[in-house]
Structure 1
Amino acid sequence: MKMYGIERKKSVKYFNNNGFTMLEMLFAFSIFLMIVSFLPVSFNFLFQDWKMEARTQRLEWHVFINQLKKEIRLADTANISPVSIVLTIDGKSVIYEKYGSNLRRRVDMKGHEIVLQKLDAITFSTFNGGVEINVSDNFDQKHSAFLYYLMNMEDVDVP
């Protein structure tokens, strides 16, 4: 039943019941801006992953040097060539040699343990009382280390 002559009052409560208010729009826009503000940071992280790999390569180098230092000090004999190191430890032959872009360790010419990865070049050279190792990797980093033998120290008389 319709009533004529009575005018219904208009208020905000009834006027915008199904609409999208300005407050809702500002709230949605602020969430959108927060999401978009993280995009440059995430792109920077995604496209510069090589920096993380370069740091990992440095850590790998330090672990390798500590392992090799221990084996050189325990070695009975050591034969150094520009491309490999052959150590004799308790009658076993331990060889470090470049294999592709990796440096591998083998015991008695068996096994295949990768100790360094992503190498461009590695050289071994001998000097009085030790070995010098020079490495350049795929990240344009150069590493070098001097490792000293303890096998000849038994012959030295200590006063």
Structure 2
Amino acid sequence: MRNKQTKKSVFMLSHLESGFTFVTTLISIVVLVFSIPFVSYLLRQVSVDNTMNDVSVGQFFIFMRNEVMQAEEIKLYPHQLKLSMHNGDEATFEKYGNLIRRQVDGTGHEIYLRDIKDITFSSFSYGFHIIITTVKGEKYDKKIIYYP
């Protein structure tokens, strides 16, 4: 009889080789699916310095300065500013809820700034001082000079 040579088979008896299997892939996907919501929650809780508030307050101060430059007469109250314009209108800046609004002759509702806890106006010899406190407790102040 003829001696047959046996060829090595593709079939393996031992499955001890390391590598990714379908089960390990499923387990890693399940871990990712459950951990992503927690990671997004943690990222939201980290306080990030938001410069948008700084920009909006700075823009408010620019608008206020421009209004004062156009005014003929300025009346200061502790929490209100009234500007008499050249055309006879009276513009009022005041805190309304948590907003700073502008009204012309007591009508209208133009919002200049949001999320405000307090606004204070104080006078000095060549202008006035505005102090704004936000609902987060941040304080901003600006001295606005009277222009002839």
**TM-score, length basis structure 1:** 0.71
Could you list the runs of 5+ residues in structure 1 that have no partner in the other structure?
1-10, 13-21, 153-159
Shift of 1:62: 1.5
Amino acid at match of 1:67: F
1:47-89 alpha-carbon deviations (Å, 9 max, x no partner):
46x857x643333211211111111112111111111111122
Q: Are residues 1:108 and 2:121 paired?
A: no
Aligned residues: 133
- The 5 A counterparts of 1:63-102 are 63-90=59-86, 91-102=88-99
**TM-score, length basis structure 2:** 0.75
Higher mean alpha-carbon deviation, 119-128 vs 28-37, is at 28-37
- The 5 A counterparts of 1:20-99 are 23-47=21-45, 55-90=51-86, 91-99=88-96
In 1, the alpha carbon distance for the partners of 2:121 and 2:44 equals 36
- CA 1:51/1:94 → structure 2, altered by over 3 Å: closer, same or farther? farther
Of 125, 129, 147 in structure 2, the residue corresponding to residue 128 of structure 1 is 125
If asked which structure has higher relative contact order (CA below 8 Å, sep 6+), I would say 1
Aligned to 1:6: none
Could you list the runs of 5+ residues in structure 2 that have no partner in the other structure?
1-10, 13-19
Aligned to 2:141: 144
4+ runs deviating over 6 angstroms:
none
Amino acid at match of 2:105: D
1:23-59 alpha-carbon deviations (Å, 9 max, x no partner):
10111222233334433331024446x857x643333
RMSD of equivalent CA atoms? 2.7
1:101-148 alpha-carbon deviations (Å, 9 max, x no partner):
221100121101121222221110111221100111110111111111
